[in-house]
Amino acid sequence: MPEVERHSFDVLVIGAGGAGLRAAIEAREHGMRTAVLCKSLFGKAHTVMAEGGIAAAMGNVNSSDSWQVHFRDTMRGGKFLNNWRMAELHAQEAPQRVWELETYGALFDRTKDGKISQRNFGGHEYPRLAHVGDRTGLELIRTLQQKIVSLQQEDFAEFGHYEERLRVFQEFTVTDLVVEEGRIAGAFGYWRESGRFVLFEAPAVILATGGIGKSFKVTSNSWEYTGDGHALALRAGAKLINMEFIQFHPTGMVWPPSVKGILVTESVRGDGGVLRNTENKRFMFDYIPEVFKDKYADNEEEADRWYTDQANNRRPPELLPRDEVARAINSEVKAGRGSPHGGVFLDVSTRLPAEEIRRRLPSMHHQFKELADVDITAQPMEVGPTCHYVMGGVEVDPDTAASSVNGLFACGEVSGGMHGSNRLGGNSLSDLLVFGRRAGEGAASYVRGLSERPSVSDEAVARASETALAPFQAEGGENPYTLHMELQQSMNDLVGIIRRESEMQEALERLEKLKERAQSLSVEGHRQFNPGWHLALDLRNMLLVSECVARAALLRTESRGGHTRDDAPAMSADWRRKLLVCSLDGTRVNVEEQAQIPIRKDLLDLFDRAELEKYLTPEELS
């Protein structure tokens, strides 16, 4: 057995995005010796890319806002499939979590009376998103990073050692969780830099690994998003829910090819940008669904008046929920009315003065200028849907973030339930903080309640290192880059934004073959910072998670939020009562139906009966 470095902690947090860092702060403040493990450098996790803001009903801009209104918006956005308890806790606690960031040193944009400013966003009834220009994620990450540093400074003052109770292991990849006698005993992985193996012994592990977008060809997500946490949880015996729901953001860049998928923020439309096809038509007017007809304008004049007079006009249809806009763009392109590079036109240049565009959308202006040679103050952008966010994830207890495996917790994008079938913009960053904190607390109280700690067997370590070294054993096997490209193409084409039974069947067949081929990947070189090897290991996770997505999507014969079927276009109230739960059976993914817990009465009472009738069965309403 190769030599293995060993560490021992009370709580291990896998992931250093918003969720992981908030969880680590909480665990440490509960006195736990805590480690944070992350694949990239500390401070560079995916959260850094978030632009628009954090949703929290502070009521700073419109005092009519409250947690109840936020809860309602979240449930509507998720088409009532959400775990209502999570949506409730989220709406109630988000303001506290945002205010707390100020005590860590965050500097949000301000209102005139010196409070945190809040902006409008799709699906939120009132201005609700706390923000810093269009770089809110950076502020969130940096603030939490600096809070961690401040806790380390406290330890230095007390113990003469910065890492006494809180240590970050950066550029480290976890490949396996260790489960002994039905409970978590630790985690195994490698330093990306040296390839050396490390075993962490810990009675509690918090997964905060983010999403899965790298299984799709066109995505706004970075290389980190290989679904590691989803796969680690499955292999440890936990369950994933809602994996069929994937959010395709309507506006990603489509050209040049090398930046295809990079996000174009929703604020472009919020600030007046409109969508047109090659016939120069504002096509969104043709795509207003029946349920939204009373809220969205059906003519350009009214839509344009809304920007200055929101009380007396209906909203422009460009601001429909993300799933609606993404589908509309997709249809236009399919009908042959797309732009030269296969998208549609998003134009703000004819809508606002150049100076105003530069002031309100500085990073979009910069991004298009630098990467596409397009001046958005003078030309339209070309945009199309891009895989953005996974609503599905580890099934957890809402209050403690505990999974069904003892000692395993999950928070942030890797957890499932909170957003139902579709997430509202801004609700992820708040989710990270609310459930990050709860996971830290949940793990701490679990550890305190243990009478003895699990230990890790030598076999478990041997097995994990063997798996990790497998790609070096095979010779003449396939190149992991080739396999990855094929996987991305298949998921994009066959389990993408619009789905059909026959295509999903084909996707599953292809995945089966890819799984076989992945058995004999081979990589060149040695273990030191070897991206080919890293990809080979990540592929195992991507394949597993992709299979969950395809299998669940095949079973759900309705369309809802981030799951749209050509062959089952309607939303069904019966399906709302069912969750699809993935678990691992050997190497095969099993999907089972599970009944939703009925929504608590006082929460149901927050809605009009007429609205509930759109979503619930007559039986539930009686």
Partner 1 sequence: MSYQGKFRVWRGDDTGGALEDFTVEVNEGEVVLDIIHRLQATQAPDLAVRWNCKAGKCGSCSAEINGKPRLLCMTRMSTFTEDEVITVTPMRTFPVIRDLVTDVSFNYTKAREIPSFTPPKDLAPGEYRMQQVDVERSQEFRKCIECFLCQNTCHVIRDHEENKEAFAGPRFLMRVAELEMHPLDTADRVDSAQESHGLGLCNITKCCSEVCPEHIHITDNALIPMKERVADRKYDPIVWLGNKLFRRS
Ligand X SMILES: Cc1cc2nc3c(=O)[nH]c(=O)nc-3n(C[C@H](O)[C@H](O)[C@H](O)COP(=O)(O)OP(=O)(O)OC[C@H]3O[C@@H](n4cnc5c(N)ncnc54)[C@H](O)[C@@H]3O)c2cc1C
What residues act catalytically? 249, 269
Sequence-separated contacts (24+) of 288-295 with Cβ below 8 Å: 288/317, 288/320, 289/320, 289/324, 291/614, 292/320, 292/324
Q: Is 42 in the site for partner 1 (CB under 8 A)?
A: yes
Q: Is 310 in the site for partner 1 (CB under 8 A)?
A: no
Alpha-carbon distance of 186 to 7, in angstroms, equals: 10
Give the one entry of ligand X, partner 1, none that residue 53 binds, where binding means its C-beta sits below a cut-off of 5 to 8 angstroms depending on kind: ligand X
Evaluate the CA torsion angle 5, 152, 205, 175 in order and state its sign. Answer: negative
Is 41 or 621 the residue whose CB approaches partner 1 more closely? 41
Is 240 or 263 the residue whose CB approaches ligand X more closely? 263
Q: Is 95 in the site for partner 1 (CB under 8 A)?
A: yes
Give the one entry of ligand X, partner 1, none that residue 427 binds, where binding means its C-beta sits below a cut-off of 5 to 8 angstroms depending on kind: ligand X
- 204-207 vs 11-14, strand pairing mode: parallel
Alpha-carbon distance of 25 to 166, in angstroms, equals: 8
Is 425 or 442 the residue whose CB approaches ligand X more closely? 425
Q: Is 173 in the site for partner 1 (CB under 8 A)?
A: no
Give the one entry of partner 1, ligand X, none that residue 255 binds, where binding means its C-beta sits below a cut-off of 5 to 8 angstroms depending on kind: partner 1
Is 288 or 418 the residue whose CB approaches ligand X more closely? 418
Give the one entry of partner 1, ligand X, none that residue 15 binds, where binding means its C-beta sits below a cut-off of 5 to 8 angstroms depending on kind: ligand X
Give the one entry of ligand X, partner 1, none that residue 52 binds, where binding means its C-beta sits below a cut-off of 5 to 8 angstroms depending on kind: ligand X
Amino acid making up residue 393: G
Give the one entry of partner 1, ligand X, none that residue 14 binds, where binding means its C-beta sits below a cut-off of 5 to 8 angstroms depending on kind: ligand X
Burial class (CB in 10 A: 0-12, 13-18, 19+), 569: exposed
Residue 101: strand, helix, or coil: helix
Q: Which residue is nearest to ligand X (CB)?
A: 17
Is 370 or 593 the residue whose CB approaches partner 1 more closely? 370
Please choose, out of 79-87, 93-101, 291-299, 406-414, the segment that lies near partner 1 by the rule CB under 8 A. 93-101
Evaluate the CA torsion angle 389, 392, 397, 403 in order and state its sign. Answer: negative
Give the one entry of ligand X, partner 1, none that residue 20 binds, where binding means its C-beta sits below a cut-off of 5 to 8 angstroms depending on kind: ligand X
- The pair phi, psi for residue 509, each rounded to 5°, is -65, -45
138, two tokens: 């950076």
By the criterion CB under 6 A, which residues form the site for ligand X? 14-20, 37-40, 45-47, 49-53, 136-137, 172-174, 189, 208-210, 220-221, 224, 228-229, 263, 388-389, 412-414, 425-429, 432
Q: Is 532 in the site for partner 1 (CB under 8 A)?
A: yes
Provide the 8-state DSSP code for 585: E
- Judge if the upstream peptide bond of residue 256 is cis by omega within 30 degrees of 0: yes
Nearest to 544 by CA among 515, 570, 524, 568: 515
Q: Is 105 in the site for partner 1 (CB under 8 A)?
A: yes
Number of residues engaging partner 1 in binding (CB under 8 A): 68
Which residues, at least 6 apart from 7, have a Cβ–Cβ distance to it below 8 Å? 35, 198, 199, 200, 201
User: Cβ of 343: how many Cβ atoms within 10 Å?
Assistant: 23
Shortest approach of partner 1 to residue 146 CB, angstroms? 6
Burial class (CB in 10 A: 0-12, 13-18, 19+), 162: middle
Among 1, 41, 335, 570, binds partner 1 (CB under 8 A): 41
Q: Is 586 in the site for partner 1 (CB under 8 A)?
A: no
Q: Is 622 in the site for partner 1 (CB under 8 A)?
A: no
Q: Is 102 in the site for partner 1 (CB under 8 A)?
A: yes
- 578-585 vs 588-595, strand pairing mode: antiparallel
* DSSP conformation letters of 372-406: H---TTTSPEEEEEEEEEE--EE---TTT-B-SSB
Helix pair angle (136-159, 84-104), 10° resolution = 70
The alpha-carbon radius of gyration of the chain (Å, integer) is 24
Mark residues 451-480: x for contact with partner 1 by CB under 8 A, - for none: ----------------------------x-
Interface of this chain with partner 1, residues 242 to 301, rule: CB under 8 A: 255-259, 262-263
Alpha-carbon distance of 83 to 88, in angstroms, equals: 9
Is 158 or 370 the residue whose CB approaches partner 1 more closely? 370
Facing residues of 589 across strands?
A: 584
Q: Is 132 in the site for partner 1 (CB under 8 A)?
A: yes
Please choose, out of 64-72, 91-99, 343-351, 394-402, the segment that lies near partner 1 by the rule CB under 8 A. 91-99
Give me the residues that bind partner 1 (CB under 8 A), please: 40-44, 46, 48-49, 58, 95-96, 99-100, 102-105, 107-110, 113-115, 117, 132-133, 135, 138-139, 142, 146-147, 149-150, 152-153, 156, 162, 193, 222-224, 255-259, 262-263, 366-367, 370-373, 479, 481, 523-526, 528-533
